[in-house]
Amino acid sequence: MNPPEGPAAAPPTETVTERGSTPAAVLNTVRWSDPARWLQAGWRDFRRAPGIGLFYGTCFTVMGWALLIVFQSSPAYVLALSGGFLLVGPFMCLGMYRVSQRLENGERPGFADSVLAWQARTGQLAVFGVVLLVLEMLWARATLVVFAVTFDGLPDFHGSLLALVSGENLVFLVVWLALGALFATLIYSVSVVSMPMILHRRTDAITAGLTSMRLVLTQTPVMIFWGASIAVLVFAAMLPGFVGLLIVGPVLGHASWHAYRAAVRD
Q: Which range in 4-8, 188-192, 205-209, 260-264 is most confidently predicted, on average pLDDT? A: 260-264
Domain assignment present for residue 24? The answer is no
Average pLDDT over residues 210-236: 93
Q: Which residue has the higher pLDDT, 246 or 154?
A: 246
Residue 69 pLDDT:
75
Domain assignment present for residue 134? The answer is yes
Domain assignment present for residue 113? The answer is yes
pLDDT-derived band at 82 (thresholds 50, 70, 90) equals: low
Domain assignment present for residue 6? The answer is no
Domain assignment present for residue 130? The answer is yes
Domain assignment present for residue 4? The answer is no
Classify burial at 19, counting beta carbons within 10 Å of its beta carbon; exposed 0-12, middle 13-18, buried 19 or more: exposed
pLDDT at 104 over 90: yes
Domain assignment present for residue 228? The answer is yes
Query: Where would I find the H helices in 116-244?
Result: 122-150, 161-164, 170-191, 194-200, 205-218, 220-238
Nearest to 99 by CA among 60, 129, 63, 56: 56
Average pLDDT over residues 179-204: 87
Distance CA 231, CA 252 (A): 10
**Domains of the chain: total:** 1
Average pLDDT over residues 107-124: 82
Structural domain span for residue 235: 34-263
Q: Which residue has the higher pLDDT, 260 or 2?
A: 260
Average pLDDT over residues 3-17: 41
Neighbours of 47 (CB within 10 A): 11
Domain assignment present for residue 96? The answer is yes
Distance CA 204, CA 191 (A): 13
